[in-house]
Amino acid sequence: MSDKAEQLKILKEIFKEDFEEIDAGVRSGGDTTLFEVTSIEGVAIPDGLTIIVNFDNGKKLGWAGPSSPLYTSERFDERFKGNLNIFVMKKKKVLKQIHTTYNQETFKKRTDTYSFQEILDSVEF
């Protein structure tokens, strides 16, 4: 499974609602994909708002070794499982940002921990 596919799989587990997404680029300074949420099952995204989600799974690009001219993507610290980033934006202005760090314990309890409906209800625009 590619890192992009793994990141998206984890995001789908974290959110209570099913959602559709498109690739929105790569997060600056990392090897993780940004996803723009285009539709959410049972939830209307208000006109003019954009939702960007990202899961930095803790894997970093590293040198494979002196005998190999290749890079490898691996997790260097097994205690750190990743960061969840959620941005609700109106044009380029961030209206709401959520950042959650997952360790081994919190990562086990990640399923259905965030709701797009609850996040959107808390945004003032």
Per-residue pLDDT of the chain (125 residues; tens, 9 = 90+): 468 898 999 999 999 999 999 999 887 666 689 999 999 999 999 999 999 999 987 665 555 555 555 545 555 556 678 899 999 999 999 999 999 999 888 989 999 999 999 999 999 88
Global pTM value: 0.82
Cα→Cα distances 45→13, 59, 73, 93, 99, Å = 20, 31, 35, 16, 20
Q: What is the pLDDT of residue 52?
A: 97
Give pLDDT, residue 78.
62
Domain map of the chain by residue range? Answer: 3-121
Contact 48, 61 (CB under 8 A): no
Among all chains, which residue has been given the structure tokens 């894997």?
59
Predicted pLDDT of residue 113 = 95
* Closest to 32 measured CA to CA, from 49, 8, 14, 56: 56
pLDDT at 51: 98
Per-residue confidence (pLDDT) for residue 4, from 0 to 100: 87
- Burial degree of 6 (CB within 10 A; 0-12, 13-18, 19+): middle
Decide if 76 contacts 82 (C-beta within 8 A): no
